[in-house]
Amino acid sequence: MRLTDYLDKGASLGPGAPCLTTGDRTLTYGEVQELSWQVARALDRSGVRPGDKVAILSANDPTAFSCVFGISRAGAVWCPVNPRNEAAENRDLLDLFDCTCLVFQEAYAPLVAKILPDLPKLTTLVCLDGSPAFATAFGEWLDGVPTEPWQAGPVDGTVMLVGTGGTTGRPKGVMLTDRNIETMSALTLMSYPFGTRPVYLALAPLTHAAGVLCFPVMTLGGEIVIMPAPDLTEFLALVERHRVTHTFLPPTLIYMLLGHARLAATDLTSLRCLWYGAAPMSAARLAEAVERIGPVMAQLFGQSEAPMMISTMAPEDHFHADGSLASERFASAGRPAPLVTVAIMDGEGNLLPSGERGEIVVRGSLVMAGYYKNPSATEEASRHGWHHTGDIGYLDADNYLFIVDRAKDMIISGGFNVYSAEVEQAVMEHSAVQDCAVVGLPDDKWGERVTAVVQLHPEQSVTEGDVRAFVKARIGGVKAPKQVEVWPDLPRSKVGKVLKNEVRSQLLRELPPGRS
């Protein structure tokens, strides 16, 4: 299936049904179809050919997301660009992807003007809601273009180019194919509860998880309610107003939601599935979410290279058959998805038995085609015939996948391997802690000392000794932090992940002279 097929499938169930909604504005399936035909023809008229790369730089917006389907109809490749990136990062992505066309919102015109001189391959610029001197206004670009069906054949199966973070060094471009997205969509529909015409609320950026989750929703003719900016007060109001059935939030926002004054008064009975993922979630906070939000919590684990559904945990899997909480699973990432093969591998390429820790590796049609114009990185990620996730974990006797750390985040303290995610789970059980990050710092005695940086709930306080004793009682003295810092907030990525490399860098800068 091409990306257009998800839209067309939804339209076949009723072109007059609501498709994309923001505020008081709704585009029906038929209107999004017509707009996609126009955008495809306009791209063709502008010289964009099948296989060319087209980027969208926009906040969450129905017109911008409609352009995704126009790009697909033109046989071109969608390159989602996060507007929260720094200018240099977006310049690097657009250059790396060989983009020839950029569709953007006027709010980002200064950013585009700044990087444009360094992007000679970028020959077509279209502004969705304005008319800067260096770009064509969207209405003018579509002027005279008929709204009749039109579609060009793709060059190959590549439908998306996705940048990998870029937090360290130059980002890589993940090539996702029509088969990757089809597999992800099938796994979504297989693994979680859906009914006819779901209502999906997209708060997170459509450039990331919130965007690709739209595709399976569209196959059922569902409505997608788009939030231009994250706002939990508005989020709760929209769930109630639109009778939202499905939504996605990263753990950080769920923690904030649990502390929101309006949560208890909001009618959440329409919710069937609140996906959480993109970062590990505290088992203690998950239990609280199940109790206060409802039996709707649904985990997913994936990465850009194997989108969204490496493993899944449906709402029902959070409970035992007798209705009691299956809390022993709450620190897991669920079970490997039905169409995905997951294994644990050591450094020599040997597959490890149940319970042993090693790198999580993946096979199947969910896995990317490779990194764009980077064969050495592709070869490194696919050695021994498996895709290497870079995550350390294990499979238990019931085939639940536990992620204990990123390989690069493992701490070696006193000769013992300490997995930061395990320490974070223990710290997060403390009632005063809202969020935390655990890193290793150089230490003359221990090699690396386990260091916890905590963000507290409002009006809460803890001492270093409190946290150390609390964790020691749960996972032992070796893993208990030897240093505890309290910060008002933690540095986060554009999608809400705590940036441990920045936490560690700041801690290193703050070390007293002479202390290692």
> What digits encode the pLDDT tens for the residues 245-272?
999 998 888 988 999 999 999 999 999 9
pLDDT band at 512 (very low <50, low <70, confident <90, very high): low
- 432-460: pLDDT as tens digits: 999 999 998 888 777 788 999 999 998 89
Q: What is the mean predicted confidence (pLDDT) over 364-380?
A: 95
pLDDT band at 115 (very low <50, low <70, confident <90, very high): very high
Per cent of the chain over pLDDT 70 is: 97
Question: Would you state the pLDDT for residue 514?
Answer: 45
pLDDT band at 135 (very low <50, low <70, confident <90, very high): very high
Q: Chain-wide mean pLDDT for the chain?
A: 91
Whether 167 has a pLDDT exceeding 70, the answer reads no
CA angle (204, 54, 200) in 5-degree steps: 25
What structural domains and CATH numbers belong to the chain?
A: 3-7+25-176 (3.40.50.12780), 231-406 (3.40.50.12780), 410-509 (3.30.300.30)
User: What's the CA gap between 407 and 417, in Å, rounded?
Assistant: 11
Residue found by looking up tokens 């554009």 in the block: 494
Q: Are strands 306-313 and 341-345 parallel, antiparallel or unpaired?
A: unpaired
Q: What is the mean predicted confidence (pLDDT) over 272-288?
A: 88
SS3 breakdown of the chain: % helix, strand, coil, rounded to 5? 35, 25, 40
Q: Which residues contact 320 (CB under 8 A, 6 or more apart)?
A: 326
pLDDT band at 166 (very low <50, low <70, confident <90, very high): very low
Q: Which residues contact 88 (CB under 8 A, 6 or more apart)?
A: 115
Number of H helices, E strands in the chain: 16, 26
User: What's the CA gap between 498 and 492, in Å, rounded?
Assistant: 4
Q: What pTM was estimated for this model as a whole?
A: 0.84
pLDDT band at 155 (very low <50, low <70, confident <90, very high): confident
pLDDT band at 240 (very low <50, low <70, confident <90, very high): very high
Q: What is the mean predicted confidence (pLDDT) over 125-133?
A: 95
Whether 470 has a pLDDT exceeding 80, the answer reads yes
User: What's the CA gap between 53 and 102, in Å, rounded?
Assistant: 9
Nearest of 291, 231, 218 to residue 19 by alpha carbon: 218
User: What's the CA gap between 397 and 89, in Å, rounded?
Assistant: 43
Using CA atoms, how far residue 76 sits from 159, 233, 335, 339, 440, in Å, is: 7, 38, 35, 27, 44
Question: Would you state the pLDDT for residue 169?
Answer: 55
Residue found by looking up tokens 């208990």 in the block: 480
Buried b (16+ CB within 10 A) or exposed e, 248-272: bbbbbbbbebbeeeeeeebebeebb
Question: Would you state the pLDDT for residue 422?
Answer: 82
Residue found by looking up tokens 């309290």 in the block: 486
Helical residues (DSSP H) of 119-250, grouped into ranges: 138-142, 178-191, 209-212, 214-219, 232-242
Using CA atoms, how far residue 416 sits from 331, 411, 413, 448, in Å, is: 22, 8, 5, 10
Assess contact for 410 and 417: CB atoms under 8 A. yes
pLDDT band at 411 (very low <50, low <70, confident <90, very high): confident
Whether 496 has a pLDDT exceeding 90, the answer reads no
Out of 209-223, 254-268, 331-345, 476-490, which region has the weakest mean confidence (pLDDT)? Answer: 476-490
Question: Would you state the pLDDT for residue 516?
Answer: 46
Lay out the sheet containing 358-363: strands in order across. 341-345, 358-363, 387-395, 401-406
| DSSP designation for 117 | G
CA angle (330, 211, 342) in 5-degree steps: 45
Question: Would you state the pLDDT for residue 388?
Answer: 96
- 173-204: pLDDT as tens digits: 999 999 999 999 999 999 999 988 999 999 98
pLDDT band at 153 (very low <50, low <70, confident <90, very high): confident
Position with higher pLDDT, 105 vs 459 = 105
Out of 133-147, 157-171, 186-200, 325-339, which region has the weakest mean confidence (pLDDT)? Answer: 157-171
Whether 56 has a pLDDT exceeding 90, the answer reads yes
pLDDT band at 168 (very low <50, low <70, confident <90, very high): very low
User: What's the CA gap between 498 and 500, in Å, rounded?
Assistant: 6
Residue type, 171: P
